[in-house]
Amino acid sequence: MISTGRARTFWVKVLIITLLFPVAYLLMLSLATQWIFPSVLPASLTLDRWSTLLGASNLFGSLLLSLGIALSVATISTFAGFFSSKHLAYHPQRSLWIRLSYFPFVLSPVIYAAVLYFYFIKLDLAGSFVGVILGQLLIAYPYSVILFSGFWSERIQQIEKLTQTLGGSRWQIYRRVLLPMAQGLLLVCFFQTFLISWFEYGLTTIIGVGKVQTLTLKVFQYINEANFYNAALASSLLVLPPIILLFFNRKYLFRQRW
């Protein structure tokens, strides 16, 4: 059924619609006024919800908050991960370190947060912006270490040694040699860790004590009060930035990220 050209084109179209439909549906729902069973289409559309967003609404605050947290998490975990992974990769215990870094990264964030909540309270970090950043770093940083571990090859080590012999300081080596060489990977890591943070819900709600209200928390709150139109609006805000990013570069989006 797929071998003939026309059927094939048809199935490709079906695939495209399946993949793009969710975005269209979310946007439509965020614009709908009344859309209840059994209507297949909303009664009418309104821009009201989107326009209140531009004012000083709660949702706009959440958008900025999510952005602030995600940018911090991405910046810190990318650079800290880059720096750490170098030393871990050249360490005799290399394979032990890399193995260890998988544990926090694949562990359920919500369970991780549950067992760590006590310490966050102790450190006075529960319910705070900084606490949520640190909590998300506990997932994003190991990810970054894993991502960079492949970068530190013997070739890189030799180049580094060569620069050292030529009199380059440690800072110069990073700035002039290592960072430029890793530029592509650094960008990938930045975007991936940004998305880890941008998409995070379970850990954020526990460590943030529900007070640090990122966009994902807003989506959940709206679902809870059965306010599906606003949930769709908040969802659109979550989904659109990565899709825009997709236009620029696909490889940033395609990495193991869970």
Partner 1 sequence: MRISEQKLFNNKAEGIGILLFLVLAVLPLVLGIIYALLYSLGVIGLVSDGFTFAYWQRALSDAEFWLSIGYTFYIALATIGLTIILSLFLSLYFRKELRHGLPGFAIYVPLAFPAIVVAFLFFQLLSQSGLFARIAFQLRLIADSSVFPELVNDPFGIGIIGAHTFMATPFFTLYFMNLYRQANLKEFRQVAESLGASAFEQLRRIVVPVLLKRAFPTLTLYTIFVMGSYEIPLILGRQTPQMMSVLVIRKLRRFSLSTIPEAYITAIVFIAIIIALLTVLFKSKNFSYDLDR
Partner 2 sequence: MKTFLKYLLIYIFLISCSSSSKQQDELTDLDWEQITQRAKGQTVNMMMWQGDPNVNSYMQNYVAPAVQKQYGVDLKIASGQGNTIVSILMSELEAGKSESELDLVWINGETFYQLREIDALYGPFVSKLPNSKYLDLDNPFIKYDFQQPINGYEVPWGNVQFAMIYDSARVQDPPQNRQQLTEYVKAHPGSFTIPNDFTGMTFLKSLLIDFAGPSTLDGEFDKETYQQYSTQLWEYLNRIKPYFWKEGKTFPSSVSAMHQLFVNGEIKLTMSNNDAEVDNKMLEGLFPETARAYLLQPGTIQNSHYVGIPVKSTHKASAMVVSNFLISLKAQYRKARPDVWGDGTVLAREKLPDNWQSKFNDIPRQRYAPSQDSLQKYALRELAPKYMSRLYEDFRTEVIQQ
- The residues that touch partner 2, with contacts defined as CB under 8 A, are 34, 36-38, 58, 117-119, 121-122, 124, 126-127, 209-211, 213, 217, 221, 224-227
Say if CB 41 and CB 238 are below 8 A apart: no
Residue 34 partner contact from partner 1, partner 2, none using kind-dependent CB cut-offs of 5 to 8 Å: partner 2
Nearer to partner 2, 192 or 230 (CB): 230
Does residue 10 belong to the site contacting partner 1 (CB under 8 A)?
A: no
Q: Does 176 bind partner 1 (CB under 8 A)?
A: no
C-alpha neighbours within 13 Å on the C-beta side of residue 121: 8
Burial 170-199 (b: 16+ CB within 10 A, else e): eeebbeebbeeebeeebebbbbbbbbbbbb
Is 88 an interacting residue with respect to partner 1 (CB under 8 A)? Answer: yes
Pick the closest to residue 140 from 82, 97, 183 (CA basis): 82
Cβ distance to partner 1 smaller for residue 181 or 223: 223
What is the Cα–Cα distance from 166 to 157, expressed in whole angstroms? 14
Instruction: Name residue, tokens 């989506």.
Output: 219
CA distances from 110 to 6, 99, 205 (A): 47, 21, 9
Q: What angle do CA 63, 18, 200 make, to 5 degrees?
A: 30
- At 32, is the secondary structure helix, strand, or coil? strand
Query: Among partner 1, partner 2, none, what binds residue 30 when CB lies within 5 to 8 Å by partner kind?
Result: none
Indicate the residue among 70 and 126 with the shorter CB distance to partner 2: 126
Give the footprint of partner 1 on residues 128-167 (CB under 8 A).
137-138, 141-142, 145, 150, 153-154
Q: Which of residues 89-118 bind partner 1 (CB under 8 A)?
A: 90-91, 94-95, 97-104, 106-112, 114-116, 118
- Residue 6 interacts with partner 1 (CB under 8 A): yes or no: no
Residue 235 interacting entry, from partner 2, partner 1, none, C-beta within 5 to 8 Å by type: partner 1
170 binds, among partner 1, partner 2, none (CB under 5 to 8 A by kind): partner 1
In three-state secondary structure terms, 165 is helix
